[in-house]
Amino acid sequence: MSDLLAGVRVLDLTNVLAGPFCCYQLALMGADVIKVEAPGTGDLARQLGADSGLNKRLMGASFLAQNAAKRSIALNLKSEVGKEAFLKLVATADVLVENFRPGVMERLGLSAKALRALHPGLVYCAISGFGQDGPLRDNPAYDQIVQGLSGVMSVTGDAHSAPLRVGYPVADSIGGLTAALAICGALVRRGKTGAGETIDVSMLEAVLVTMGWQVSNWLIAGIEPQPLGNENMTAAPSGAFATADGVLNIAANKQDQFEKLCALIGRPELAFDPRFIEREGRKKRRFELKAELEITLASKNAREWSELLNSAGVPAGEVLSVPQALAHPQVEGRGLVRRFANAPGMERELAVVRAGFRLQSGDPAPAAPPPELGADTEMILSSLGYNAKEIAALCKAE
């Protein structure tokens, strides 16, 4: 079977993370994603990452992480010849994604309104920190700023460490996934009606939407969310527990799970202790209960407890590092990591993650490694009708 988005062309004008991550999801589903980059520098992420050597070659690890399966064309959108070529490219596209500050594309004469006047079926998606209007519209979109303004940091950590940043760019990632979802919805309708769409994704709003329970506790119940660290606000014992070796997450959220847990660790009396016998009592005295459980949990390591508890239907899992998680048989066995032996700009094997879902018709995975800056410029311009002389002149003008 063909890929889900086979035949869909996406122009990726984005930088760093939210936009590139969105377009990577589309590429994984088979879209022809053309990354439109500034000559000489390209996506800023090309210079970001833990390997300084790759950064100097404009193939930074941060870029490599979400740009596989894309093609790259180097165009100066501020020049007339570059803009002319870009407009020809737009005419062949189904989707355009950009994450400039609001107003940048309009100043270039390439606003959603202008482009959709030329191409009514175009799905134009703008990703920004705060949306295309409102008092913060012109503020730069940095993940940690959005985390702070959304309330995420206020509920991350505990009473002593909050406010605390989530340990990866969660706002960028959520913004990118939200954009990909909106684009796919717009493409479905376009397939039925031919109508394009203009999509305005606010990272701030996208993050707030995912904070369902915290937001609803305030909006509906009038209870302001508080940071609980590794504890689950809805149940106890439910959180992270120390063992003889390693930290163990336990989620004994149901009464029968709590009773099984007590029996399995050799402390059946805790299930009948007046302090813990009822759900609300356990929540109020969660730290007393945690101390009691950890006395016995210290007799085995996290992996041993995880296997024992899960086999009896009590949800549990080790707290792993990123390398441990990627090497786990569950992750390795499902082939999450895609490897390329001969990636351009690399002197070693390149490994990237594929989509976070699988399909009966074939698992989405990048068909090609990330491109070097402008690697496909000549081929793409040729497909637009430019001859070799015109391509040379255009590239020289850039």
- Burial profile 117-150: b = 16 or more Cβ within 10 angstroms, e = fewer: eebeebbbbbbbbbbbeeeeeebebebebbbebb
Nearest to 343 by CA among 56, 47, 57: 57
Q: What are phi and psi of 149, to 5 degrees?
A: -70, -25
Q: Is 32 a catalytic residue?
A: no
Out of 32, 94, 143, 172, the active site residue is 172
Query: What phi and psi values does residue 218 have, to the nearest 5 degrees?
Result: -85, -50
Quick count: other Cβ atoms within 10 Å of Cβ 359? 12
For residue 100, which of 132, 145, 122, 75 has the smallest C-alpha distance? 132
Task: Give the Cα-Cα-Cα angle 366, 341, 346 (nearest 5 degrees).
Answer: 95
Active site residues: 172
